[in-house]
Amino acid sequence: MPKKATKQGLPPLDWLKVFEAAGRLGSFTAAAEEFGATQAAVSQRIRNLESWLGRQLFIRSARGVTLTVDGESYLPLIHDTLLALEQGTENLFGQSARELRVAALPSHLEMLLLPRLSLFSKTYPDLRLVTETVPKRLEFEAADGALHIRYGRGGWQGRDGVLLANEVLQPMTAPGKAAGWRQLPVIELRGERPGWAEWARVTGETEPDAGPVSVDSMAHALRAARLGMGVVLGSKALAANLLQTGQLECAPAPELAIIEGYWLTWPPSLGKSPRQRALLEAFSQALRR
Protein backbone atom coordinates (compact mmCIF):
# COMPACT_ATOMS: atom_id res chain seq x y z
CA MET A 1 0.00 0.00 0.00
CA PRO A 2 1.24 3.55 -0.72
CA LYS A 3 2.50 5.47 2.27
CA LYS A 4 0.39 8.25 3.71
CA ALA A 5 0.86 11.44 1.69
CA THR A 6 2.99 14.12 3.29
CA LYS A 7 2.96 16.59 0.36
CA GLN A 8 0.41 19.40 0.07
CA GLY A 9 -1.17 21.02 -2.97
CA LEU A 10 -1.72 19.34 -6.31
CA PRO A 11 0.25 16.44 -7.77
CA PRO A 12 1.91 17.02 -11.17
CA LEU A 13 -0.56 17.47 -14.04
CA ASP A 14 1.19 14.76 -16.05
CA TRP A 15 0.40 12.16 -13.40
CA LEU A 16 -3.25 13.21 -13.30
CA LYS A 17 -3.58 13.02 -17.09
CA VAL A 18 -2.11 9.52 -17.15
CA PHE A 19 -4.41 8.42 -14.31
CA GLU A 20 -7.45 9.81 -16.13
CA ALA A 21 -6.54 7.98 -19.35
CA ALA A 22 -5.82 4.69 -17.57
CA GLY A 23 -9.05 4.90 -15.58
CA ARG A 24 -11.14 5.92 -18.59
CA LEU A 25 -9.66 3.21 -20.82
CA GLY A 26 -9.34 0.56 -18.11
CA SER A 27 -5.80 -0.28 -19.19
CA PHE A 28 -2.26 0.93 -18.62
CA THR A 29 -1.37 -0.34 -22.10
CA ALA A 30 -4.15 1.66 -23.78
CA ALA A 31 -3.16 4.77 -21.81
CA ALA A 32 0.44 4.32 -22.94
CA GLU A 33 -0.70 4.14 -26.57
CA GLU A 34 -2.76 7.32 -26.17
CA PHE A 35 0.22 9.24 -24.80
CA GLY A 36 2.85 7.62 -27.02
CA ALA A 37 4.65 6.34 -23.90
CA THR A 38 5.66 2.93 -22.63
CA GLN A 39 3.51 0.88 -20.29
CA ALA A 40 6.31 1.03 -17.72
CA ALA A 41 6.28 4.85 -17.84
CA VAL A 42 2.51 4.91 -17.29
CA SER A 43 2.77 2.45 -14.43
CA GLN A 44 5.51 4.54 -12.79
CA ARG A 45 3.42 7.73 -12.99
CA ILE A 46 0.45 5.96 -11.44
CA ARG A 47 2.65 4.69 -8.61
CA ASN A 48 3.99 8.19 -8.08
CA LEU A 49 0.44 9.56 -7.87
CA GLU A 50 -0.64 6.84 -5.46
CA SER A 51 2.38 7.60 -3.27
CA TRP A 52 1.58 11.32 -3.37
CA LEU A 53 -2.04 10.75 -2.38
CA GLY A 54 -1.32 7.96 0.07
CA ARG A 55 -4.09 5.88 -1.51
CA GLN A 56 -4.19 2.94 -3.91
CA LEU A 57 -6.06 3.88 -7.09
CA PHE A 58 -5.80 0.63 -9.06
CA ILE A 59 -5.89 -3.07 -8.27
CA ARG A 60 -3.29 -4.86 -10.39
CA SER A 61 -3.81 -8.46 -11.44
CA ALA A 62 -2.73 -10.85 -14.18
CA ARG A 63 -5.90 -9.93 -16.10
CA GLY A 64 -5.21 -6.20 -16.01
CA VAL A 65 -6.15 -3.31 -13.75
CA THR A 66 -9.36 -2.14 -12.12
CA LEU A 67 -10.08 0.99 -10.13
CA THR A 68 -10.30 0.84 -6.36
CA VAL A 69 -13.14 2.61 -4.53
CA ASP A 70 -10.85 5.62 -4.10
CA GLY A 71 -9.92 5.46 -7.77
CA GLU A 72 -13.57 5.33 -8.85
CA SER A 73 -14.32 8.38 -6.69
CA TYR A 74 -11.30 10.33 -7.95
CA LEU A 75 -11.68 9.61 -11.68
CA PRO A 76 -14.82 11.74 -12.40
CA LEU A 77 -13.28 14.71 -10.57
CA ILE A 78 -10.05 14.52 -12.57
CA HIS A 79 -11.88 13.88 -15.86
CA ASP A 80 -14.19 16.88 -15.44
CA THR A 81 -11.34 19.11 -14.26
CA LEU A 82 -9.08 18.26 -17.20
CA LEU A 83 -11.96 18.73 -19.64
CA ALA A 84 -12.83 22.13 -18.17
CA LEU A 85 -9.15 23.14 -18.31
CA GLU A 86 -8.89 22.06 -21.98
CA GLN A 87 -12.08 23.86 -22.99
CA GLY A 88 -11.20 27.00 -21.06
CA THR A 89 -7.72 27.14 -22.59
CA GLU A 90 -9.13 26.62 -26.07
CA ASN A 91 -11.79 29.29 -25.57
CA LEU A 92 -9.31 31.82 -24.26
CA PHE A 93 -6.24 31.14 -26.37
CA GLY A 94 -7.23 28.74 -29.17
CA GLN A 95 -6.88 29.89 -32.73
CA SER A 96 -9.89 29.66 -35.02
CA ALA A 97 -9.38 27.70 -38.20
CA ARG A 98 -8.46 29.90 -41.16
CA GLU A 99 -8.53 27.25 -43.88
CA LEU A 100 -10.44 24.05 -44.55
CA ARG A 101 -9.13 21.64 -47.20
CA VAL A 102 -11.59 19.22 -48.78
CA ALA A 103 -10.55 16.42 -51.12
CA ALA A 104 -13.09 14.57 -53.24
CA LEU A 105 -13.83 13.14 -56.65
CA PRO A 106 -14.71 15.80 -59.26
CA SER A 107 -18.41 14.88 -59.33
CA HIS A 108 -18.66 15.01 -55.53
CA LEU A 109 -17.04 18.44 -55.38
CA GLU A 110 -19.33 19.76 -58.10
CA MET A 111 -22.62 18.17 -57.06
CA LEU A 112 -22.41 17.44 -53.33
CA LEU A 113 -20.14 20.19 -52.00
CA LEU A 114 -20.50 23.38 -54.03
CA PRO A 115 -24.32 23.63 -54.06
CA ARG A 116 -24.38 23.49 -50.25
CA LEU A 117 -21.64 25.98 -49.39
CA SER A 118 -23.56 29.26 -49.49
CA LEU A 119 -25.09 29.17 -45.99
CA PHE A 120 -21.95 27.64 -44.46
CA SER A 121 -19.77 30.39 -45.96
CA LYS A 122 -22.08 33.05 -44.51
CA THR A 123 -21.72 31.46 -41.07
CA TYR A 124 -17.91 31.29 -41.38
CA PRO A 125 -17.06 34.28 -43.60
CA ASP A 126 -13.37 34.31 -42.58
CA LEU A 127 -12.83 30.64 -43.35
CA ARG A 128 -11.08 29.89 -46.64
CA LEU A 129 -12.26 26.67 -48.26
CA VAL A 130 -9.69 24.92 -50.45
CA THR A 131 -10.81 22.04 -52.65
CA GLU A 132 -8.52 19.30 -53.89
CA THR A 133 -9.63 17.14 -56.81
CA VAL A 134 -8.91 13.42 -56.45
CA PRO A 135 -8.97 11.88 -59.94
CA LYS A 136 -9.37 8.28 -58.76
CA ARG A 137 -10.70 6.62 -55.62
CA LEU A 138 -7.37 4.97 -54.83
CA GLU A 139 -5.55 8.30 -54.73
CA PHE A 140 -7.12 9.66 -51.51
CA GLU A 141 -4.04 8.66 -49.53
CA ALA A 142 -2.13 11.52 -51.13
CA ALA A 143 -4.56 13.94 -49.44
CA ASP A 144 -4.45 12.29 -46.01
CA GLY A 145 -4.39 15.57 -44.06
CA ALA A 146 -7.55 16.97 -45.62
CA LEU A 147 -11.22 16.35 -45.16
CA HIS A 148 -12.43 13.71 -47.60
CA ILE A 149 -15.83 13.29 -49.18
CA ARG A 150 -15.95 9.60 -49.99
CA TYR A 151 -18.39 7.05 -51.34
CA GLY A 152 -18.68 3.64 -49.72
CA ARG A 153 -19.65 1.92 -46.49
CA GLY A 154 -17.47 3.93 -44.10
CA GLY A 155 -14.78 2.66 -41.75
CA TRP A 156 -11.69 3.92 -43.59
CA GLN A 157 -8.57 3.05 -41.63
CA GLY A 158 -7.03 5.89 -39.65
CA ARG A 159 -9.91 8.30 -40.21
CA ASP A 160 -13.00 9.39 -38.31
CA GLY A 161 -16.15 10.11 -40.25
CA VAL A 162 -19.84 10.82 -40.43
CA LEU A 163 -22.45 9.67 -42.93
CA LEU A 164 -23.79 12.52 -45.05
CA ALA A 165 -26.38 10.62 -47.09
CA ASN A 166 -27.28 7.08 -48.02
CA GLU A 167 -27.24 6.31 -51.71
CA VAL A 168 -30.70 6.08 -53.26
CA LEU A 169 -31.08 5.52 -57.01
CA GLN A 170 -34.15 6.43 -59.07
CA PRO A 171 -34.89 6.84 -62.77
CA MET A 172 -34.49 10.51 -63.77
CA THR A 173 -35.05 12.47 -66.96
CA ALA A 174 -34.92 15.95 -68.39
CA PRO A 175 -37.88 18.20 -67.45
CA GLY A 176 -41.14 17.23 -69.09
CA LYS A 177 -40.02 13.72 -70.03
CA ALA A 178 -40.54 11.85 -66.76
CA ALA A 179 -44.05 10.59 -67.52
CA GLY A 180 -42.89 8.81 -70.68
CA TRP A 181 -39.54 7.61 -69.35
CA ARG A 182 -40.15 4.05 -70.57
CA GLN A 183 -39.93 5.27 -74.15
CA LEU A 184 -36.55 6.97 -73.63
CA PRO A 185 -33.14 5.42 -74.31
CA VAL A 186 -31.38 4.15 -71.20
CA ILE A 187 -28.17 5.89 -70.16
CA GLU A 188 -25.81 3.21 -68.89
CA LEU A 189 -23.54 4.04 -65.93
CA ARG A 190 -20.54 1.76 -65.47
CA GLY A 191 -18.98 1.43 -62.03
CA GLU A 192 -19.59 0.17 -58.50
CA ARG A 193 -23.23 1.23 -58.17
CA PRO A 194 -26.00 -1.26 -59.00
CA GLY A 195 -27.37 -0.84 -62.50
CA TRP A 196 -30.68 -1.31 -64.20
CA ALA A 197 -30.59 -5.12 -63.83
CA GLU A 198 -30.31 -4.86 -60.02
CA TRP A 199 -32.97 -2.13 -59.94
CA ALA A 200 -35.36 -4.41 -61.86
CA ARG A 201 -34.58 -7.42 -59.66
CA VAL A 202 -35.20 -5.57 -56.38
CA THR A 203 -38.22 -3.53 -57.46
CA GLY A 204 -39.90 -6.21 -59.57
CA GLU A 205 -40.06 -3.83 -62.52
CA THR A 206 -39.17 -4.76 -66.09
CA GLU A 207 -35.59 -3.95 -66.97
CA PRO A 208 -35.46 -1.34 -69.76
CA ASP A 209 -33.49 -2.01 -72.91
CA ALA A 210 -29.94 -0.74 -73.13
CA GLY A 211 -29.40 2.56 -74.91
CA PRO A 212 -26.55 3.92 -77.04
CA VAL A 213 -24.89 6.02 -74.29
CA SER A 214 -22.53 4.50 -71.69
CA VAL A 215 -20.54 6.63 -69.23
CA ASP A 216 -18.32 5.94 -66.19
CA SER A 217 -19.29 8.95 -64.05
CA MET A 218 -22.56 9.73 -62.29
CA ALA A 219 -22.01 13.41 -63.04
CA HIS A 220 -21.74 12.63 -66.77
CA ALA A 221 -24.81 10.39 -66.62
CA LEU A 222 -26.88 13.11 -64.98
CA ARG A 223 -25.58 15.63 -67.50
CA ALA A 224 -26.61 13.36 -70.37
CA ALA A 225 -30.10 13.08 -68.91
CA ARG A 226 -30.35 16.87 -68.55
CA LEU A 227 -29.45 17.19 -72.23
CA GLY A 228 -32.39 14.95 -73.15
CA MET A 229 -30.28 11.95 -74.14
CA GLY A 230 -32.35 9.45 -72.16
CA VAL A 231 -33.22 8.21 -68.69
CA VAL A 232 -30.60 7.65 -66.00
CA LEU A 233 -30.69 5.61 -62.81
CA GLY A 234 -29.56 8.67 -60.91
CA SER A 235 -28.23 9.34 -57.41
CA LYS A 236 -30.74 11.37 -55.42
CA ALA A 237 -27.94 12.67 -53.21
CA LEU A 238 -25.82 13.97 -56.08
CA ALA A 239 -28.80 15.17 -58.09
CA ALA A 240 -30.52 16.92 -55.17
CA ASN A 241 -29.76 20.44 -56.40
CA LEU A 242 -30.69 19.55 -60.00
CA LEU A 243 -34.01 18.11 -58.84
CA GLN A 244 -34.73 21.07 -56.59
CA THR A 245 -34.07 23.58 -59.35
CA GLY A 246 -36.10 21.65 -61.93
CA GLN A 247 -33.16 20.68 -64.14
CA LEU A 248 -34.02 17.01 -63.66
CA GLU A 249 -37.21 15.16 -62.78
CA CYS A 250 -37.71 11.85 -60.99
CA ALA A 251 -39.70 9.41 -63.08
CA PRO A 252 -42.83 7.81 -61.58
CA ALA A 253 -40.87 4.65 -60.83
CA PRO A 254 -39.61 2.88 -57.69
CA GLU A 255 -36.33 3.91 -56.10
CA LEU A 256 -33.50 1.62 -55.06
CA ALA A 257 -31.80 2.19 -51.70
CA ILE A 258 -28.38 0.60 -51.30
CA ILE A 259 -25.95 0.11 -48.43
CA GLU A 260 -23.29 2.53 -49.68
CA GLY A 261 -23.41 6.24 -48.99
CA TYR A 262 -21.51 9.52 -48.97
CA TRP A 263 -19.23 10.20 -46.02
CA LEU A 264 -17.23 13.11 -44.67
CA THR A 265 -14.00 11.81 -43.13
CA TRP A 266 -11.04 13.45 -41.39
CA PRO A 267 -7.85 12.48 -39.52
CA PRO A 268 -8.49 12.08 -35.76
CA SER A 269 -6.04 14.90 -34.99
CA LEU A 270 -8.36 17.36 -36.75
CA GLY A 271 -11.19 17.08 -34.24
CA LYS A 272 -9.43 17.30 -30.89
CA SER A 273 -10.36 20.82 -29.77
CA PRO A 274 -13.93 21.99 -29.08
CA ARG A 275 -13.69 24.60 -31.84
CA GLN A 276 -12.53 22.04 -34.37
CA ARG A 277 -15.33 19.67 -33.41
CA ALA A 278 -17.89 22.47 -33.71
CA LEU A 279 -16.54 23.37 -37.15
CA LEU A 280 -16.69 19.76 -38.34
CA GLU A 281 -20.26 19.44 -37.07
CA ALA A 282 -21.34 22.65 -38.83
CA PHE A 283 -19.67 21.56 -42.06
CA SER A 284 -21.27 18.10 -41.87
CA GLN A 285 -24.70 19.64 -41.30
CA ALA A 286 -24.22 21.93 -44.29
CA LEU A 287 -23.42 18.98 -46.55
CA ARG A 288 -26.46 17.06 -45.31
CA ARG A 289 -28.89 19.79 -46.40
Domains defined along the chain, listed by start:
13-93 (1.10.10.10), 98-289 (3.40.190.290)
pLDDT reported for residue 48 = 95
> Which segments in the chain show pLDDT lower than 50?
none
pLDDT reported for residue 276 = 81
pLDDT reported for residue 224 = 96
pLDDT reported for residue 98 = 75
**Three-state SS sequence of the chain:** CCCCCCCCCCCCHHHHHHHHHHHHHCCHHHHHHHHCCCHHHHHHHHHHHHHHHCCCCEEEECCEEEECHHHHHHHHHHHHHHHHHHHHHHHHHCCCCCEEEEEECHHHHHHHHHHHHHHHHHHCCCCEEEEEECCCHHHHHHHCCCEEEEEECCCCCCCEEEEEEEEEEEEEECCCCCCCHHHCCEEEECCCCCCHHHHHHHHCCCCCCEEEEEECCHHHHHHHHHCCCCEEEEECCCCHHHHHCCCCEECCCCCEEEEEEEEEEECHHHHCCHHHHHHHHHHHHHHHC
pLDDT reported for residue 127 = 86
pLDDT reported for residue 85 = 81
pLDDT reported for residue 158 = 83
pLDDT reported for residue 59 = 95
pLDDT reported for residue 6 = 52
pLDDT reported for residue 277 = 83
